[in-house]
Amino acid sequence: MSLSSVWISHPDRDGACNLVEILIAEGLAACGHVFAPGLSIYKWKGEVVRGAEVMILLKTSTECEQKLISKVKENHPYEIPEIIFQSIDGGLPEYLDWVAESVSSSHFHPDESGET
């Protein structure tokens, strides 16, 4: 199983924590870390915007990526949320095994079609 780290920005800490809990509860992420707020500066709809954001760092499998994207979009206040995947090429084998077990297909909730 291939694993990845996921970076997601969020405008507030409580909302970020709620999102992480949803993703973990649904088996789409093994764990998440919500970093302290920082200042983001970006261009949106032609205007330079400044705003406080927190960054979320998750661990998941590549098999979960599309469902994770869908779930984030359902539960995120941004029109286009930042969701960036980075491949995990190595690490402590026991930790990587735990991540893989935490997001295995047995933890998924079936969608309406009964597929996982």
The rounded distance, in Å, linking the Cα atoms of 101 and 39 is 35
Domains and CATH numbers, the chain: 3-106 (3.30.70.120)
pLDDT at residue 105, rounded to an integer: 61
Write the CA distances from 30 to 39, 61, 99, integer angstroms.
27, 9, 5
Residues linked to residue 52 through DSSP beta bridges, in sequence order: 39
pLDDT at residue 110, rounded to an integer: 47
| SS3 at position 93 | helix
List the Cα angle 12/13/16 in 5-degree steps. 90
Q: Is 65 exposed, middle or buried (0-12, 13-18, 19+ CB in 10 A)?
A: middle
The rounded distance, in Å, linking the Cα atoms of 53 and 37 is 5
What is the reported pTM?
0.88
The whole-angstrom distance between residue 10's C-alpha and the CA centroid of its chain comes to: 11
Residue with tokens 């088996």: 27
Q: pLDDT by residue for the chain (116 residues), tens digit each? A: 899 999 999 999 999 999 999 999 999 999 999 999 999 999 999 999 999 999 999 999 999 999 999 999 999 999 999 999 999 999 999 999 999 999 986 444 444 444 44
The whole-angstrom distance between residue 99's C-alpha and the CA centroid of its chain comes to: 14
